Structure 1
Amino acid sequence: MPEDKARRRVVRAHNAPEHDQGISDHGYPAEEERDVYEKMRLSKPVPVGTRRRVPPPATNIQEALRQNMEHIIPAIYTLLSCWTRFHDIGKSNYVVWDEAHFGKFGSHYLKREFYFDVHPPLGKMLVGLVGGLAGYTGNFDFKSGAQYPDDVPYTAMRVMLSIFGVLMVPLAWYTAREMGMGHRASHIVTIMTLCDLAWLCISRFILLDAMLLFFTFLVIFCLTKFHSERFEPFEPDWWLWLALTGISIGCVCSVKWVGFFATAVVGLYTIEDLWDKFGDLRMPVRTYFYHWVARACCLIVLPFIVYATCFKIHFIVLNHSGPGDAQMPSLFQANLVGNDFGRNPVEAAFGSRVTLKNMGYGGGLLHSHVQSFPTGSKQQQVTCYHYKDDNNHWNIAPPWNEPAVDLQGPIRFLQDNDVIRLQHSSTKRNLHSHAVPAPVTKLANEVSCYGNETVGDNHDHWIVEVVDDLKQGRRSNVKRIHSLTTRLRFKHKRFGCYLRAANVILPQWGFKQVEVSCEKDTSPSDTHTYWNIENHWNDRLPMADRSHSSSPFFRDFWHLNVAMMTSNNALVPDPDKEDILASKPFDWPLMHLGLRMCGWGDHQLKYYLLGNPIVWWSGAASLVLSVIALLVYALRWQRKYADFEPAELDKYLFMNKLSLLGWALHFGPFVIMGRVTYVHHYLPALYFAVLSFGALLDHFVFSSRRLNARAKWTVFGLIVFAVVDTFWWFKGIAFGIDGPIGEHKGLQWRKSWNIY
């Protein structure tokens, strides 16, 4: 007997005894294991240029039902999803958890006030949109735990936003089918999506997470549809699903940056696909080049257009001055309605009171307050602060060896190479530097405030260096320093170092503000040493009435994204405080801890963000088992065992690569990042664990020729019963637990859950 025949794991179906064949998961005999979808897609490649046959129109109801069964099933699941997401959605009339943030951002859109947040704007714009559609006027401040007034249609807003959670369920069905799973495995994936309590709970409030999850599901669905069209490149359907994949990538990244992990899944798939095509010697070089161009246009350019368009709309809508102005460049702020920068005097002079804006990406305003450094000189702190405050005000004064400003004498305008003192308006101390290491950047000098109106030394002297001016041009053309448009550097006269704010965050004693230091070895092009005068007050100078240059969009777009990244990186755990809501990434797969989303009083409706234990634990187990199975198959392949036919191998590898890599790319980054993490950060990764569980069941149980139909239905029924029964047991944590928590027994399956 030949070796390859002797080592074949399963005898071919036409040689198998009839009693061993059984009925497959798809209702076909074993020799027709795959359903119609799979037979068209996997049994053999579809020749390029051919189209799949479209069935003729139905002539009766029975035939119509047969032809549309693939859509009737998800329609039923969608109705069930509507019930779970909408049931008692307005029962709690209090601001729950992060509704305090995202509801407030929606209010800013309705009032058109500029604000700042660490997340991209698409999700928050949708919050503002549903608020406007529901009749909300933006007059509520969404304080955490506050009761909603009668004029805030919070229930309608929750319902409209929960539609994203509703649509997750049919997307799960269609994705499982497109991946090649049979009906039973697809039902299990869909039921697990329907009955997971964490997905359900977080979809029922004014939050961004339901949108993030929906667009993540959409990216994977569009990718699987595109994968199904891979044998018909450059056909209309191929272009459609490639373009929709790119659009969904742009949308998911525009809700939260976690969406870039879904982008990485598509990116790895694309790299592998192009690498395989590179090895296809039958493909003309021109065709291969067109594949690169198509993917670059649809998966890079198109998502960027969607992402940038969201920011453009964000800037257009928020055209009034608001609480987030200080995060943006001064010229951007000057174009906001209600901002008075344009009425300030144009030319700065000695005796002027100013605020100084750092022009590095994410830079703030030069700031000081009465608190002192706990180390180093222990003098008054100097920081960069991102919000408008009287402690941002500084007086431009002459050096100690020159007479004070004569308010009755001629005005002395500020020019390049002038030596000045910057006196803090509130405390009257002078901006100062000395040979003391900065608190965080040890290689730089500390910058502090020292002395008063009569006490000081030459360490208070700074040389003003003009970089250029946005209107006057290069340095040589700048005769007088202008507010808003002139870029400046401040060089310490004694040490030759430059005033710098590089987004280094101070500890809690510095109120998590940005460190300001004096650094000598800096590049002339280092924007973190660039400053401009933002606010300018001088009663002796005329108020300006000037037209502003428009602030370039892509400059503002880049500036805001860097500021978002800087603020996001600053969200690190505080060792001085215990965050009872935070959790570690390795706590998530086995549900070590949930999250209380509101107050826990006896008379409050209580929500606990915790998943369905069967869904989470089976998903975690399937990830481990899938890796083990892949390793075993790899060993058997090395020993020349033929466990798969080519089409079966393609299907099996695609399902496992998509689920395992998707989970790793959505989970791994949280392990290595330093920011504070919460259990809801695991929810996108959970989807890939569920897909992994469905793929594992489909391969080893529902497609097995060793199990008969009764055994398969028994496994299916047990799993569905366990998932649905557990959902019903814990449904209160998502629908709301009323009354004393002690009256609700049996909810603490793990001692670490802080339910009671």
Structure 2
Amino acid sequence: MNDQKGARRRGPKGAADTGVGTGAAAGKVAVPDDGGRGIKDKPQAGQVYQGKGVSPKDLLLQNLDHVLGLVYTLLSFWTRFYRIGHSSNVVWDEAHFGKFASHYLKREFYFDVHPPLGKMLVALAGFLAGYDGSFEFKSGELYPETVPFVTMRMILATFGVLMVPLGWYTAIELGMSQWACHLVALMVLLDVGWLCISRFILLDSMLLFFIVFTVFCLTKFNNQQSRSFSFGWWYWLIMTGLGIGCVTSVKMVGMFVTALVGLYTVEDLWEKFGDLKMPVRDQVKHWAARVFCLIVLPFLVFMASFKIHFIILNETGPGDAQMSSLFQAGLEGNDFSNNPLEVAYGSRVSLKNMGFGGGLLHSHNHVYPAGSGQQQVTCYHHKDNNNEWDILPLWEDAPYDPQAPIRFVQHNDVVRLAHSMTTRNLHSHRVPAPITKLNHEVSCYGNSTIGDIHDYWVVEVVDDLLRGSRANVDRVHALTTRIRFKHQVLGCYLYAGATMLPQWGWKQAEVSCVEENNPKDTHTYWNVEAHFNDRLPPADFKNLKSPFLRDFWHLNVAMMNSNNALVPDPDKEDILASVPFDWPFLHLGLRMCGWGDSQTKYYLMGNPIIWWGGATSLIVALCTFGVYLMRMQRKYFVMNDRDWNHFLYVGKVAFFGWILHYVPFIIMGRVTYIHHYLPTLYFAVLMFAHMLDHFIFSSRSLPFTAKGVAFGICAGAVVGTFWWFKGVAFGIDGPIGEHTGLLWRKVCSSFNPELT
């Protein structure tokens, strides 16, 4: 229906404008000056200001956005750098990420659940500051004079500084009024949560920066859509892809902003698909450009960060056991050069599971609390003597004689594996495994003189990474030969998956015996890693190289498995943890250090006005959208096409950005803390400013004075709460009981002096 005579509208009496979807009202309306410069008033994307014959005043007005951006940047330097070295102790997760920087500077291989780019940037900060990598970064320990921790903090805080101008320019690119742009910049500048997390040797400042940068690039690209395939269009599409690659290379949380860009791209391409005037050739070019810039390019950046990671960390270190044996052989300083090549009876070996993320076959002097009650067998990702096993003949055969001729292990040999530390034998029987009940339990049983036929394992050679198929493998070789162990009696295969044992099993991986014979299941593949046999000569493994793609995939799966294992421990209470429902309305913060009277104390929380306002604005936005849809269905005039599209565009960026960063933490089972909400908060801030802009700052019915008063109230509240709570980020000195004014809500009990 195109008849709009009976249509009612939102707006001043007597005004008329273009209808939405169902038609148009007659006439035009003169838009009053709203004191701001929204998307309607912006210069077209790519416009170049003309400087010839322009007065200094005009030049200032033309570049006012940049002048204000510079002012906010200078203010951000003050907030991020002020008292940044006040605490000379290792604060919170500086104990982890400072230690990783030390490994980089010493080139020692380590393992962590996060991708390497952020930690390499921490190491770069240490290198630029003159740090030599000698400090251990123990939690709460005093920094020695040889560690330039203040300079390192300042370098990393620069990422937090740059969030503020990016927030300012993003609001401009989103077409918000100048009031709203100022409010976005103020909220990014003065939130004590973002401020606090940016002032230490952590990854979060980099993660936040790259998220904000990616959103900024996306908005810049959106404003180039009318100039497809121009230089500016290509430039900002490529920069968006680089932003995605960088943010995912810092933390996997970056996948959430990647999903936001993906949703935007799907909608954009779908609209172009419906444009019948667009040639098929242009359609294909649009698809190809998105695939290359937003999929291929980010993936190349992600892979490049791991390649550099492997190049730098070329020496053996504490994370060796997480990687394949062949990868470890390429590290300098490992002891594989002393290993004999061919495995024989009487050899003492460690067995590495070849499933991605696999560990070393392990046993210790603890028993299963149920089932057989025999000694536990697990997979362990750290090297120690409990990973060593002796390859021995069967019970009915003659005992191993070190003076007898050497007998090498071959395909289809039946062996007994005795745990070197306890002398018990690797054993399986018809007892359900502790977790994977469909599999048989694997245990250690007996000793050097007591055992039975359930200790017998058939060695099945799969292939060799250097010599090829089984037909070319005459003897089992250390590092390269892939083998399976088949239980001679039960016919099941020794198996190590990603299932973790409870606390009684020390959170190590379960080892069981699986009846299904799947020759392709790498979780049943093993190789000999460490190999000790005085009767055999050492081999030269220096020329062995593991393919990069295999190492890349292996490390990523190991990271994913380790991250999934970070689940709450029911046997322990984590007083620092919180649940996602605590975050939007700031029910709980996080103590970042000790709480003693003589210590400088930091408490990770947010600016209540910003957090509460952001969370509330999301609810208001949903209600507003619902009301507008109902009014439009009833033929009320809401706003013209341009304003409606802008309302939806900014709302979708903010709302779906918030949803994509928040909901996954509700679904996942891992332990969570309040700092996990800090990336999500950015989209709540955008929505808060968007709702204020929609109802107040860009309203055509409110006078300029009313808008100024509203802005003053909002900005004053943000500044005032920041000033009141600034100590939680700048550091609280003296007994906490002297700061009772920070007891702003009863549930925030971490400020209670009785808990110190």
Same fold per superposition (TM over 0.5)? yes
| Mapping 1:459-498, distance limit 5 Å | 459-498=454-493
Find the residue that maps to 1:105 and give its secondary structure.
helix
Q: Matches of 2:28 and 2:220 in 1, distance apart? A: 36
Which residue does the alignment assign to 1:139?
A: 134
Task: Give the alignment partner of residue 698 of structure 1, picking from 693, 700, 711.
Answer: 693
Q: Matches of 2:642 and 2:71 in 1, distance apart? A: 32
1:36 and 2:41 aligned = yes
Which residue does the alignment assign to 1:635?
A: 630
- Deviation by residue 1:589-609 (Cα, 9 ceiling, x = unmatched): 011100000000000000000
Find the residue that maps to 1:446 and give its secondary structure.
strand
Q: 1:160 is aligned with what amino acid?
A: I
| Mapping 1:270-669, distance limit 5 Å | 270-669=265-664
Q: Matches of 2:418 and 2:743 in 1, distance apart? A: 60
Q: Which moved more, 1:469-478 or 1:570-579?
A: 469-478
Q: Matches of 1:634 and 1:658 in 2, distance apart? A: 19
- C-alpha contact (below 8 Å) 1:121/1:310 kept by paired residues: yes
Q: Matches of 1:18 and 1:318 in 2, distance apart? A: 67
Which residue does the alignment assign to 2:22?
A: none
- C-alpha contact (below 8 Å) 2:51/2:59 kept by paired residues: no
| Mapping 1:111-260, distance limit 5 Å | 111-260=106-255
Which residue does the alignment assign to 2:21?
A: none
Find the residue that maps to 2:451 and give its secondary structure.
coil
Which residue does the alignment assign to 1:30?
A: none
Which residue does the alignment assign to 1:46?
A: none
Find the residue that maps to 2:518 and give its secondary structure.
coil
Find the residue that maps to 1:64 and give its secondary structure.
helix
- Deviation by residue 1:596-641 (Cα, 9 ceiling, x = unmatched): 0000000000000000000000000000000100111111122222
Unaligned runs of 5+ in 2: 18-24
Which residue does the alignment assign to 2:10?
A: 9
Deviation at 1:25, TM superposition (A): 3.0
- Deviation by residue 1:199-237 (Cα, 9 ceiling, x = unmatched): 000000000000000000001000000000011110000
- C-alpha contact (below 8 Å) 2:416/2:426 kept by paired residues: yes
Q: 2:627 is aligned with what amino acid?
A: V
- C-alpha contact (below 8 Å) 1:22/1:709 kept by paired residues: no
- C-alpha contact (below 8 Å) 1:342/1:548 kept by paired residues: no
Q: 2:751 is aligned with what amino acid?
A: I
- C-alpha contact (below 8 Å) 2:495/2:523 kept by paired residues: yes
Q: Matches of 1:457 and 1:2 in 2, distance apart? A: 92
Q: Residues 490, 19 of structure 1: CA spacing in aligned structure 2 closer, same or farther, 3 A cutoff?
A: closer
Q: Matches of 2:629 and 2:265 in 1, distance apart? A: 23
Which residue does the alignment assign to 2:751?
A: 755
- C-alpha contact (below 8 Å) 1:169/1:194 kept by paired residues: yes
Deviation at 1:17, TM superposition (A): 14
Q: Matches of 2:87 and 2:16 in 1, distance apart? A: 58
Deviation at 1:692, TM superposition (A): 0.1
Q: 1:576 is aligned with what amino acid?
A: D
Q: Matches of 2:517 and 2:747 in 1, distance apart? A: 51
Q: Matches of 2:53 and 2:734 in 1, distance apart? A: 55
Deviation at 1:669, TM superposition (A): 0.1
Find the residue that maps to 1:500 and give its secondary structure.
strand
- C-alpha contact (below 8 Å) 1:603/1:739 kept by paired residues: yes
Q: 2:112 is aligned with what amino acid?
A: D
- Deviation by residue 1:723-756 (Cα, 9 ceiling, x = unmatched): 0000000110000000001111211111111212
Find the residue that maps to 1:6 and give its secondary structure.
coil
Task: Give the alignment partner of residue 684 of structure 2, picking from 674, 689, 697.
Answer: 689
Deviation at 1:548, TM superposition (A): 2.8
Deviation at 1:2, TM superposition (A): 5.0
Find the residue that maps to 2:358 and give its secondary structure.
coil
Q: Matches of 1:66 and 1:21 in 2, distance apart? A: 22
Q: Matches of 2:438 and 2:238 in 1, distance apart? A: 50
Which residue does the alignment assign to 1:23?
A: 33
- C-alpha contact (below 8 Å) 2:603/2:728 kept by paired residues: yes
Q: 2:366 is aligned with what amino acid?
A: Q
- C-alpha contact (below 8 Å) 1:130/1:157 kept by paired residues: yes
Q: Matches of 1:581 and 1:570 in 2, distance apart? A: 18
Q: Residues 396, 175 of structure 1: CA spacing in aligned structure 2 closer, same or farther, 3 A cutoff?
A: same
Q: Matches of 1:60 and 1:713 in 2, distance apart? A: 29
Q: Matches of 2:596 and 2:366 in 1, distance apart? A: 38
Q: Matches of 2:318 and 2:3 in 1, distance apart? A: 78
Deviation at 1:342, TM superposition (A): 3.2
Find the residue that maps to 1:273 and give its secondary structure.
helix
Q: 2:9 is aligned with what amino acid?
A: R
- C-alpha contact (below 8 Å) 2:314/2:331 kept by paired residues: yes
Deviation at 1:505, TM superposition (A): 0.5
Q: Residues 716, 346 of structure 1: CA spacing in aligned structure 2 closer, same or farther, 3 A cutoff?
A: same
- Deviation by residue 1:622-675 (Cα, 9 ceiling, x = unmatched): 000001001111111222223122211111111000000000000000000000
Find the residue that maps to 1:488 and give its secondary structure.
strand
Find the residue that maps to 2:485 and give its secondary structure.
strand
Q: Matches of 1:18 and 1:459 in 2, distance apart? A: 90
Deviation at 1:20, TM superposition (A): 10
Q: 1:307 is aligned with what amino acid?
A: F
Find the residue that maps to 1:516 and give its secondary structure.
strand
- Deviation by residue 1:145-181 (Cα, 9 ceiling, x = unmatched): 0000010000000000000000000000000010110
- Deviation by residue 1:653-711 (Cα, 9 ceiling, x = unmatched): 11000000000000000000000000000000000000001110111101111110111
Unaligned runs of 5+ in 1: 28-32, 42-50
- C-alpha contact (below 8 Å) 1:353/1:538 kept by paired residues: yes
1:101 and 2:96 aligned = yes
Q: Matches of 2:29 and 2:285 in 1, distance apart? A: 51
Find the residue that maps to 1:637 and give its secondary structure.
helix
Q: Matches of 1:216 and 1:364 in 2, distance apart? A: 34
Q: 2:15 is aligned with what amino acid?
A: R
Q: Matches of 1:570 and 1:755 in 2, distance apart? A: 31
Task: Give the alignment partner of residue 738 of structure 1, picking from 733, 742, 745.
Answer: 733
Find the residue that maps to 2:463 and give its secondary structure.
strand
| Identity rate, percent | 62
| Mapping 1:701-740, distance limit 5 Å | 701-740=696-735
Q: 1:172 is aligned with what amino acid?
A: G
Find the residue that maps to 2:396 and give its secondary structure.
coil
- C-alpha contact (below 8 Å) 1:201/1:609 kept by paired residues: yes
- Deviation by residue 1:60-85 (Cα, 9 ceiling, x = unmatched): 42232122111000100010000000
Q: Matches of 1:16 and 1:724 in 2, distance apart? A: 45
- C-alpha contact (below 8 Å) 1:659/1:688 kept by paired residues: yes
Question: How does the TM-score come out when normalised to structure 2?
Answer: 0.96
Q: Residues 328, 375 of structure 1: CA spacing in aligned structure 2 closer, same or farther, 3 A cutoff?
A: same
Find the residue that maps to 2:722 and give its secondary structure.
helix
- C-alpha contact (below 8 Å) 1:469/1:485 kept by paired residues: yes
Q: 1:354 is aligned with what amino acid?
A: V
- C-alpha contact (below 8 Å) 1:20/1:705 kept by paired residues: no
Q: 2:440 is aligned with what amino acid?
A: N
Q: 1:25 is aligned with what amino acid?
A: G
